[in-house]
Amino acid sequence: MALITEESANHKTIVTIDGPAPGITRYSETILPTEFGDFQCIIYRRENGDEEVAMVVGDVSGKSDVFCRIHSSCLTSEVLNSIKCDCKKQLDAALQKIQSLGCGIVVYLHQEGRGIGLGDKIRAYAEQAKGRDTVDANRVLGLPDDARTYAGAAYILKDIGVTSVSLLTNNPLKIKGLEKNGVVVSRRIPHLLEAGEIANNYVRVKQDRMGHLGSKI
């Protein structure tokens, strides 16, 4: 992967760009009953052993404008109930949404801490505790603002067989990441939720410094 810097009028973001197509294959699947309903749960395995998840509702193969969320893992929020970010709420809302629509896909990628991993995410949190925002905390540690890649997610969507997606996201890099890997994003649906005060700060920094879209908080 290579580091690039993207600049626009109001933000400058260091990101990684996707490398070669990932070695990733469909490994197993079942119907998974959850609090929100039944999902077709498909596991994809990468050559390095990482496993990614697709939660699917309805018959989406061959369909266009399929409602889709690409969600990056956040153990601190989703498992440990951290209130520093709104990831758990975003994930739950997306899973509930595809149940209510009766059709859609949530792809869950293991990219903790915008791809820097759990250990470095906690190092960055320690910097944030000193008063740095989420961007400066990464930079003072020499870490990229956002190291996530989307070639794997694109592979998964193509494997499932959708012809285009309506993507639930505020992140333009996610749209670019899918499109450059051959997925047609026919529409962007803003993902705006009520978050607590601490998470609101996090969302505000993402909007002001990382080019995320949405109403200003």
Residue 167: strand pairing partners: 68, 188
Task: Identify how many contiguous H helices and E strands the chain contains and give both numbers.
Answer: 7, 9
Question: Considering beta carbons, is residue 77 or 171 the nearer one to Zn ion?
Answer: 77
- Residue 71 β-bridge partners: 108
Which residues are 69's β-sheet partners? 106
Report the SS3 class of residue 64: coil
Neighbouring-strand partners of residue 39 = 32
| CB-nearer residue toward Zn ion: 85 or 157 | 85
Least Å distance between CB 91 and Zn ion? 9
CB nearer Zn ion, residue 87 or residue 195: 87
148 is catalytic: yes
Angstrom distance (rounded) from CA 203 to CA 197: 10
Identified catalytic residue from 18, 86, 145, 146: 146
Report, in Å, the least distance between residue 190 CB and Zn ion: 18
Select which of 69, 114, 123, 148 is catalytic.
148
Q: What residue ranges bind Zn ion (CB under 5 A)?
A: 74, 77, 85, 87
Write the single-letter amino acid at 142.
G
What's the closest the beta carbon of residue 109 comes to Zn ion, in angstroms?
Answer: 13
As annotated, the active-site residues are: 146, 148
